[in-house]
Amino acid sequence: MNELIIRELKKEDLWNGFLTTLDSLRQTSDINRDKAEKIFENIGSNSNHIVTIAELDEKIVASVTLLIEPKFIHNGGLVGHIEDVVVDKNFQGQKIGGKIIKYVLEIAKNRGCYKTILDCTDEIKPFYEKLGFTHTANELRFDHV
């Protein structure tokens, strides 16, 4: 096994395991190619929307999205929001998730975020607590469907 590479998503990654890896969250790999590329371009146009991937043996095996929110409070402070954390089912248990989370936490810190937050289920909470996250609130959701 080669060294794990963690970096930002490139367009060619869409077809090198990225969309298939997202299938572990929700079926994504069947998305139309043109639509996927338009989404990529839209995300890429926002410097505060960072999709990070983990690559192993030239295949995308994990991904995390970091959204950076400018605030009026905290004197214009920034908050990092972690979303869509996923490790391909075939590569879970190899500490890839922890490595990619630490990577995006470093990006958030370097970009000046005063905190980084995420939502998760109770089953996954211990994973994040091992990385230094603390439980501070409850998520509520309103579906617009």
Query: What are the extents of the domains in the chain?
Result: 5-130
> In the CATH hierarchy, which fold is given to the domain comprising 5-130?
Aminopeptidase (3.40.630)
Helix then strand then coil, % of the chain, to nearest 5: 35, 30, 40
CA distance 8 to 65: 10
Q: Residue 1 has what pLDDT?
A: 55
* Residues near 114 by beta carbon (within 8 Å), at least 6 away in sequence: 74, 77, 78, 79
Q: Residue 20 has what pLDDT?
A: 95
Query: Structure tokens of 25?
Result: 């969250």
CA distance 41 to 11: 8
Main-chain dihedrals φ then ψ at residue 93, nearest 5 degrees: 85, 10
Q: Do 9 and 52 touch, CB atoms closer than 8 A?
A: yes
Residue 8, beta-bridge partner list: 52
Look at the chain and count its residues. 145
Ranges under pLDDT 70 in the chain: 1
Q: What is the pTM of this model?
A: 0.94
